[in-house]
């Protein structure tokens, strides 16, 4: 039985605030306070207004394919289990290929990639790296069930065709985007990054953590 009190764990979720950057045109995070102790009321009560593609989040297949299921229909086991963190430091706007990974086999069925191309979650930067369809095909051949990346998208910022999302749909992989892997050493961890059961939604924010094995 895993004892979390005795394990080293990493929170790989960026703090959520109005400063957290989102894709241009998407809805940034906003919290409206309805009741507050500061105003002399009997409790604190607030509501939020935001994109579901916020910070660390899981894309649903319905986000990138008309036949894809919504996030509440996804198998949670994809987002919970052994994962490998692998650093692939590349220039901006690079599409990662199997060669960038050195063709080294996966150590776990979930792969989280640190590219270092989106270092400040609160500052929009369209030059981040992304995946190539070839890498997605390779990951599927390795038995991967999930791929994550430390950027806002598995595709380049200006890719309207969504080449890698399409490849991910073909192989039915799960996606984590917007994770923060600073200070996390390469290696194998337990990933916990469960999406909310937002009925009909095309994504969900997650609280993503890695537990050292």
Phi-psi region of 138 (alpha: psi -120 to 50; beta: other; left: phi over 0): alpha
DSSP string, 4-50: GGGS-EEE--PPPSTTS---TTS---EEEEEE-TTTT-SS-EEEEE-
Dist CA 187 CA 112 (whole Å) = 10
Mark whether 63 is an active-site residue.
Answer: yes
8 A C-beta contact, residue 166 and residue 129 = no
Name the DSSP letter for residue 172.
Answer: T
Among the options 10, 63, 100, 165, which is catalytic? 63
What does each C-alpha distance from 179 to 5, 25, 141 come to in angstroms?
Answer: 23, 21, 24
Catalytic residues: 63
């Amino acid at each position: 039985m895993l004892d979390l009190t005795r394990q080293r764990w990493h929170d790989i979720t960026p703090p959520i605030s109005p400063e957290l950057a989102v894709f241009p045109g998407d809805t940034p995070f906003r919290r409206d306070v309805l009741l507050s102790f500061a105003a002399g009321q009997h409790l604190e009560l607030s509501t939020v207004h935001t994109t579901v593609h916020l910070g660390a989040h899981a894309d649903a297949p319905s986000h990138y394919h008309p036949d894809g299921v919504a996030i509440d229909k996804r198998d949670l086991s994809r987002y919970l289990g052994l994962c490998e963190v692998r650093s692939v430091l590349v220039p901006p706007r690079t599409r990662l290929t199997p060669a960038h990974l050195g063709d080294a086999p996966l150590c776990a069925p979930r792969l989280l990639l640190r590219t270092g191309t989106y270092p400040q979650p609160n500052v929009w930067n369209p030059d981040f790296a992304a995946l190539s369809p070839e890498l997605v095909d390779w990951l599927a051949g390795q038995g991967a069930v999930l791929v994550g990346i430390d950027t806002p998208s598995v595709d380049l910022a200006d890719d309207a065709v969504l080449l890698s999302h399409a490849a991910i749909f073909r192989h039915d992989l799960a996606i984590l985007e917007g994770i923060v892997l600073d200070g996390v050493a390469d290696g194998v961890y337990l990933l916990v990054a469960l999406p909310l059961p937002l009925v009909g939604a095309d994504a969900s924010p997650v609280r993503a953590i890695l537990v050292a094995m």
